Structure 1
Amino acid sequence: MKAASRQKLDQRAFLEQVHECRDNGYLLSSKKIGSGAFSKVYLAYATQERMRHNCKLASDLRGKCHTMVAIKIVSTAEAPAEFCKFLPREISSLNATYKHLNVVQLYETFANSRRTYLVLELAAHGNLLEHINAMSAHHHCPGLEEEEARRLLWQLVSAVAHCHNLGIVHRDLKCENILLDDRGCLKLSDFGFANWSGLKNSLLSTFCGSVAYTAPEILMSKKYNGKQADLWSLGVTLYAMVTGKLPFKECQPHRMLYLMRRGPTFQPGLSPECQDLIRGLLQLHPRARLGLQQVATHHWMLPAAHALFCTTLCAIPEKTEKPQLRTSLHNVEPNADSDPPRSLLQLWRPQLQGTSCESASGPAPEPPGACPRQGADSAGLELWSTETAGRTVGRSRHPLLLCSIRSVPGHYPVS
């Protein structure tokens, strides 16, 4: 009886949500693409009438050639106050990061006394965790190929740099919160634990995020720098991409810290440059971790920079372009709502005097000794044994010829 009664309540609540979405210009489908303790995400369709009244929605969907969106429904009436305090931060963070190609777009919100609705960009190809497992099974080899991991990491660094430049720290970077659209373009999502770090040296104290991706200073209940904590999570994500498993996985925090002090181990075949980049991010001391600019200029990342540079050159219009067209383009007034999402990765700022930006990280740490790993791996990631690599490769110093680069394209988790 209890199960049947609960089912009737769920059906009634869903019908209410369908009517509320329809009243706001969206057709809610029954396909659920994500769920959490107090929220669910459904596939939905924007009506033509709604698109006429929402320039932000219309301009983005026009380029995608469909009207599909994802609607996250948060049951604010059922959620505790502690949960609800993060919702305004999530909305303000998504509004601030709007128009970056590698951050999921928030089109609009509407609410009543019981629920809050977030209309989000649809990323139809699932999350990064699913992509890693699918590619591992397809190639009969753990993790992604380094070329694919490099392409995705470039986009992720672009998204995180955009957030950090705006003073926003994500605090829940993990494979499940990184989505892929139908063009293979990466989308950073789920800003439920995001916060603003206005002051340069401001410290946070809230324990949040997933333990497997959490920085050691947070596990030790210390106040922490949100940007440096995101860098640790970035290193864990890269390790998961190239190995098909997580570097540290334990239920008990003290055991997790023990594994962190020993450092990550690597399977044979992983390039020394990639190992070096991971070690540079998984430094126990927060200030010793590579910064985003150092990640972007790391020797392992150079092929991605070269590929994007070539793509950017190909996109430059020919000099034979008609003068009338250039004039008309310059006369167009910028519109904050109608411009399509863009990605501006400005991690390089060489001086005009001709000096070049360089990777300024210190020498690489000595690799930890080989040792058996204990504890279970993440349930979602495939289980693969790892071995210690030989010597690390020092982080490269090289001149950069780019002032800025535009990144190119390539289910929803909830708080």
Structure 2
Amino acid sequence: MLNALKPLGGGAFGSVYKAIDPVTCEPVAVKVLDPRSTNHKNFAFRLQQEVTMQERCCPHPNVCQIRQVSTTASSSAIIMDFSDTTLRHVRDLVLSEEELRCVMSQLLLGVHHIHSLGIIHRDINPRNILLDHAGTVRIADFGLAGRATPDMWLGDSPDRVVTENYRPPDMLIGASATE
């Protein structure tokens, strides 16, 4: 049994807390899904897809590892590796050119790995880029992730799901995707 210690953040489908794993005594992140979202008609499918996509990308040093999924009749939680902060929380810090290179290099390694598996994350934004005290960057939250398909960016495909303010430039101007 995990006891949540500190709220870390939240999103559309739940909240994330820091907790201590009682077996390893290590900190973990627990994404507790909002009970109201469990009533959503696609909830079970979306939860399974998020977990499947994220687990398929692991192990990789730049992808957040899922340790366990806990689902009961009244709640669901995803227990993951803990990172100290997100890129969103450090974006106002002045980083040296070397630190920026290190962050971007790790982020691109993670994205490359995800894409090499035929998966598109579709929600790369500062809230989903985690950083730990050692400077390791990890990509998290695969809730919008999906399999890459040749026509996923064309027209009004239901697969055109992305975070509003972090869309690719071609989507921002309404142009077709380029290779």
Q: In which range does the TM-score fall when normalised by the shorter chain? A: 0.7 to 0.9
Deviation track 1:177-229 (CA, whole Å, cap 9, x = no partner) reads 101011011011111100012x5x2425234332221125545xxxxxxxxxx
TM (normalized to structure 2)? 0.85
Instruction: Pick the aligned partner of 1:212 from 165, 172, 179.
Output: 165
Aligned equivalent of 1:97: 57
Query: 5+ unaligned residues in a row in structure 1: which ranges?
Result: 1-21, 52-65, 136-143, 220-256, 261-283, 289-415
Which structure dedicates a bigger proportion of its chain to strand? 2
- C-alpha distance in 2 between matches for 1:150 and 1:83: 38
- C-alpha distance in 2 between matches for 1:45 and 1:74: 18
Which structure dedicates a bigger proportion of its chain to helix? 1
Query: What is the percent sequence identity of the aligned residues?
Result: 29
Q: Partner letter of residue 36 of structure 2? A: E
- C-alpha distance in 1 between matches for 2:43 and 2:171: 20
Instruction: Pick the aligned partner of 1:34 from 9, 21, 28.
Output: 9
Deviation track 1:27-50 (CA, whole Å, cap 9, x = no partner) reads 3124111212331111111122xx
Aligned equivalent of 1:203: 152
Aligned equivalent of 1:78: 36
Cα distance change on mapping 1:149 and 1:121 into 2, 3 Å:
same
Residues 87 and 130 of structure 2 are in contact (CA less than 8 Å); yes or no, is this contact kept in structure 1?
Answer: yes
Residues 104 and 187 of structure 1 are in contact (CA less than 8 Å); yes or no, is this contact kept in structure 2?
Answer: yes
SS of 1:107's partner is strand
Query: 5+ unaligned residues in a row in structure 2: which ranges?
Result: none
Measure how far apart 1:116 and its partner are: 1.2
Residues 28 and 42 of structure 1 are in contact (CA less than 8 Å); yes or no, is this contact kept in structure 2?
Answer: no
SS of 2:3's partner is strand
Residues 10 and 16 of structure 2 are in contact (CA less than 8 Å); yes or no, is this contact kept in structure 1?
Answer: yes
Measure how far apart 1:85 and its partner are: 3.7
Q: Partner letter of residue 177 of structure 1? A: N
Deviation track 1:290-339 (CA, whole Å, cap 9, x = no partner) reads xxxxxxxxxxxxxxxxxxxxxxxxxxxxxxxxxxxxxxxxxxxxxxxxxx
Q: Partner letter of residue 12 of structure 2? A: A
Aligned equivalent of 1:131: 90
1:263-302 equivalences in 2 (<5 Å): 286-288=177-179
- C-alpha distance in 1 between matches for 2:74 and 2:50: 18
- C-alpha distance in 2 between matches for 1:148 and 1:194: 28
Residues 109 and 118 of structure 1 are in contact (CA less than 8 Å); yes or no, is this contact kept in structure 2?
Answer: yes
TM (normalized to structure 1)? 0.39
- C-alpha distance in 2 between matches for 1:188 and 1:285: 26
Aligned length: 173
Residues 122 and 163 of structure 2 are in contact (CA less than 8 Å); yes or no, is this contact kept in structure 1?
Answer: no
CA root-mean-square deviation: 2.2
